[in-house]
Chain A
Amino acid sequence: MAVAASAIDIAPARRQRVFDSTWILWIAIIAVLLFLVVSPFVYLVITSFQAERTGDFTLANYATAYGRARYIDALLNSLKLGAVSALLAGVFAVPLAWAVARTDMPGRGFTRMLVLATFITPPYTGAVAWILLAGPNAGWLNRFYMLVTGAEAGPFNIYSFTGLAVVIALYSFPYIFIFTTAALELVSSEMEDAANILGAGPWRTMRKVTLPLALPAILGGLIICFLEAIALFGSPAMIAIPARFNVVTTQLFQFFGNPVRVEVAAAYAMPLLGVTILLVLVQRLIVRRKGFVALTGKGGERRPTLLGRWRWAMFGYAMFVAALAVFLPYIFLVQSAFAKAWGRGFLLDNITIANFRFILFEHATAAQSVINSFLYAGVSATVAVFLTLGVAYIVARRLIPFGGVLGFLCVAPFVIPGVVLAIGFYAAYAPPPLALYGTALILILAFTTRFLPVGYVNASAAIRSLNPEMEEAVRVLGGSRLTALRKVVAPLLKRNLLGAWLLIFIPATRELSAAIFLYGPNTKVASVMIFDMSEEGNFERLAALALILQVLTLPLLWIGQKALGRDFMLRRNAT
């Protein structure tokens, strides 16, 4: 009797134990995702309808947020800025992408490398460089123009709507480039040959056949650029204030001023969120169509289009874009970082290392801010990589019903602009009970959430490449799923995980849009430090700090390329 009872007891207990360890983990993952993604979003929406002190339901925040012409103007400016920047980025990116992917232009690898260099330049660093280049009076381009033509004034003015749009376009065009090259590489030469046989020259073929085939990808890239432009904080803050106009993000920052109006900020953030969600849906639709078109073109051989003597003209254009995005900015960033006063130019007596000394040794918090950036980015990347690995595994192996919802939660932050995400985090977690205000944790959580989509896309691609049989072998031999994950899946995906980690880590070290709302005095990160330094116009020191950040990134980039075994840029936008 007693024996029978214990036998009955044991069987379910054993089964339960196996279930427990995995289920607890899955539940934990769901809880974490709710905490990271859903809760800040819900808080953001709720806060926008709350009265400041009482928390009662109100529409007053919306009335305040849209009650002034100035605030509405800022909204319109953002939309206009997004459109102009995206179109300009298209002008920079599409010819380059076509030349690199489909032609015999010389220096294709070099061009790709330069686009990568553009890609890893934070937009605010680019903005600072362009202040040095196109300041209306002292900017180097204007001075050069005046020297050559003898004119009284130069034609360039960075402190203008156009100036801001160009700078944003210069540092977001790699998105379009990546999308477009990926699509063009799939287009079969047979289709181009057909056009050639029917009498079309290479240009006509490109216009009528090749580009239309890549059009969905180009449109997808344009949308990403548009979204990037309206969500940026750093470049508008540095350029739009002297240029005297406001955009949504700088206006949001003002709502965090005196008095602090988080509720109004939340209400004001809604259009940004709405536009982003809408456009990401549109982008998904367009890019999905691309998959179909590309498939029909697959299978044929792909030969480069011969450009003849035009190949050098094309190369010239590539170098022109590279000059604007990489060569000129970096020359003058370096000049400025080593200058006593940047406006005095390349004179020997203007050279100093004092700026680096100040940043590294004399400034109480600048060096610490770089350490903070790397520390927070490192923790965020680690958490994001393992979390998304878990989710991707659950989804791919269908371990729980509705696993797809988890996958959706991981990519959802993609539609939340950094600034909006930060306000959600602020509303949800800054006040008690969690009281994360001013802590490193709130920054780490926000960075993790921001880069979950990158981690998820990589993790799910990697998991799909694994044959489940290997894990099943572990299970057959009595190992749990966790053992399988730990001993089989993770080791096999080591390189992918390292690559994904770096893909999150590198952008997280320079994140500004979310950090600016969430940092505390003791948790200042390098990007915020750079932003603070721009208040006093200390471009020399600022350039020094920005260069330190860039130099520290380079070895990581190299490791990343090795780990992924392919071009770094292709992966990041696999979303």
Chain B
Amino acid sequence: MKGLGSLIVAAAIAFAPVAARADLKAITEAAKKEGELTWYIAHYTSEGAEDIGRGFTEMYGIKVNVVRTTAQVAYQRLLQDIKNNQTICDVFSSTDVGHYVRLKAEGRFDKYIPEASSKIVPTFQNFDPDGFYHTTSAGLVVLTYNTSKVKPEDAPKKWEDLLDIKWKGKVSIGHPGFSGYVGTWVLTMKKLYGWQYFEKLEKNKPQIGRSINDTVTALNAGERQVAAGADGSTLFSAARGNPLAVTYPTDGSVLIIAPSGIMKGSKHPNAAKLFMEFLYSVEAAKINAKHFGIPLRPEVPAPPGAKPISEVKTIRPTVTEIDKGIPEVIEQWRDTFGN
């Protein structure tokens, strides 16, 4: 009896992957026939997103229409699509988790569990227990500064340091009404220090861009000196010779876990599935690491210069808090900062 049981297990182990592989093969064939897909993407910088899209095209010959915007603009676009009964977006990759909660509740996603989802770093697995969306990117909001203007010992060490009067006119931030990273960061700051944090920050007259990646440009240009920026885009730019550095705040880096999902009614369902697989591949993880994103596959080492995520003190609002909280802080933000 025991022998029979183990035989079944062995058989299952032996056959299951074969069956799955055959399935993937069918998806790949069908995807190639579909020929293209449209990807609303807020996870990465334009460059990073284009690189991933090109990687997929090189591997499968399937064109990716990369539509890189900030998270809220991507969501706005998607809502308009939905309102007009159009399915243009095949894979939706926002950085505001709240979008997924709402879209899932409205039944906007197609359920698909990538074959490779068990191969990614365990922390990121099983983000949505129902399998409608899956973690495809993770990053940190950290303190960043221009090294040619600010000495490391003078750089801000914790979030409240940005409120110091010495940074008046020298702080750069993004806008929560556009960027999902910034929205999550604002929510976290509000949770830690109350809304007064932003009333004080307003007195320091920060330069408000839209995307969180705008802080990189503002620091590079010397327009501003310190910022609440994303670790990935800042370190990527630093690696190319720009005078930038990051500080992991002592009160915690804000961890952003950003998922992707396949839209229901997608005109390229197989290409979308294959693309989800690709986002979980070692190749995509390598491209991601090249752009200083946190690689999802354990086989791929963390990018040089970035602290391994396990050594960073991270803070993160819950999914429920984000879902309810970001629309609120956007309104509060507009009242405090004027737009």
Contact = CB atoms under 8 A, between A and B. Distances in A.
Interface of A: 70, 135-139, 153, 159, 240-242, 244-246, 250, 254, 256-260, 340-344, 358, 362-365, 430-432, 435, 437-438, 520-522, 524, 532-539, 541
Given A244-B208, A363-B50, A343 B84 contact: no
A275 B72 CA distance: 31
4 cross-chain pairs, A with B, having the tightest CB-CB distances, nearest first: A343-B221, A537-B217, A437-B84, A537-B214
B79 A537 contact: no
Contact of A364 (B66, B169, B178, B327): B66
B76 interface: yes
A343 B338 CA distance: 28
A244 B339 contact: yes
Interface in B163-184: 169-170, 175, 177-178
B88 A520 contact: yes
B84 A438 contact: yes
B279 to A, nearest CB: 16
B79 A259 contact: yes
B222 interface: yes
A343 B220 contact: yes
| A258, A358, A435, A533: most-surrounded residue (chain B CB, <10 A) | A258
Contacts of B207: 136, 159, 242
Contacts of A241: 175, 208-210, 339
Contacts of B335: 70
B151 interface: no
A532 B75 CA distance: 14
B208 A521 contact: no
A52 to B, nearest CB: 10
A319 B178 CA distance: 40
Given A256-B76, A260-B83, A537 B209 contact: yes
Interface stretch (B5-13, B39-47, B120-128, B192-200): B39-47
Nearest to A74: B339
Interface string B314-339: 00000000000001000000110111
B177 A254 contact: yes
| B75, B170, B207: most-surrounded residue (chain A CB, <10 A) | B207
Q: For the complex, would chain B's binding face be called helix, strand, loop or mixed by DSSP majority?
A: mixed
Interface of B: 38, 40, 45-47, 50, 53-54, 63-70, 72-73, 75-77, 79-81, 83-86, 88-89, 169-170, 175, 177-178, 207-211, 213-214, 216-218, 220-224, 240-242, 327, 334-335, 337-339
A9 B327 CA distance: 74
Contact of A246 (B81, B224, B338): B338
Contact of B76 (A138, A250, A257, A534): A257
Contacts of A541: 46
A539 B75 CA distance: 24
Contacts of B216: 536-537
A406 to B, nearest CB: 32
A137 B88 contact: no
| A250, A432, A520: most-surrounded residue (chain B CB, <10 A) | A520
Contacts of B337: 244
Contacts of B224: 137
A447 to B, nearest CB: 20
Contact of B65 (A245, A341, A430, A522): A522
A520 B38 CA distance: 11
Contacts of B45: 536
A153 B223 CA distance: 11
Q: For the complex, would chain A's binding face be called helix, strand, loop or mixed by DSSP majority?
A: loop
Given A246-B339, A257-B76, A521-B89, A537 B169 contact: no
A260 B69 CA distance: 17
Nearest to B81: A438
B86 A437 contact: yes
Contacts of B86: 435, 437-438, 520
Given A363-B50, A364-B50, A521-B67, A536 B76 contact: no
Contacts of B77: 521
Contacts of B217: 536-539
22 contacts: A70-B335, A70-B338, A135-B223, A136-B207, A137-B223, A139-B223, A241-B208, A242-B209, A244-B338, A257-B72, A258-B79, A259-B79, A341-B220, A363-B50, A364-B63, A364-B64, A365-B66, A430-B84, A437-B81, A438-B88, A535-B211, A539-B221
Given A137-B169, A341-B221, A521-B40, A537 B213 contact: yes
Nearest to A236: B339
A360 to B, nearest CB: 12
Nearest to B96: A258
Nearest to B215: A537
B69 A535 contact: yes
A365 B67 contact: yes
Nearest to B240: A340
A206 B240 CA distance: 59
Contacts of B46: 363, 533, 536, 538, 541
A424 to B, nearest CB: 16
A364 B175 contact: no
A138 B89 CA distance: 38
Contact of A138 (B47, B88, B221): B221
B321 to A, nearest CB: 18
Given A242-B208, A245-B339, A257-B72, A364 B65 contact: yes
Contact of B84 (A138, A242, A250, A435): A435
A135 B222 CA distance: 10
Contact of B169 (A136, A431, A437, A520): A136
Contacts of A135: 221, 223
Given A70-B335, A438-B86, A536-B211, A343 B79 contact: no
Contacts of A435: 84-86
A259 B38 CA distance: 22
A314 to B, nearest CB: 36
Contact of B53 (A250, A340, A364, A535): A364
Contacts of B221: 135, 138, 341-343, 539
Contact of B222 (A246, A259, A343, A362): A343
Nearest to A250: B339
A365 B36 CA distance: 13
B41 to A, nearest CB: 11
Given A241-B209, A364-B65, A537-B209, 16 more contacts: A135-B221, A240-B339, A241-B175, A245-B339, A343-B223, A344-B220, A358-B50, A362-B50, A364-B66, A438-B88, A521-B65, A521-B89, A532-B69, A535-B178, A536-B209, A537-B218
Nearest to A532: B69
Nearest to B68: A532
A153 B84 CA distance: 50
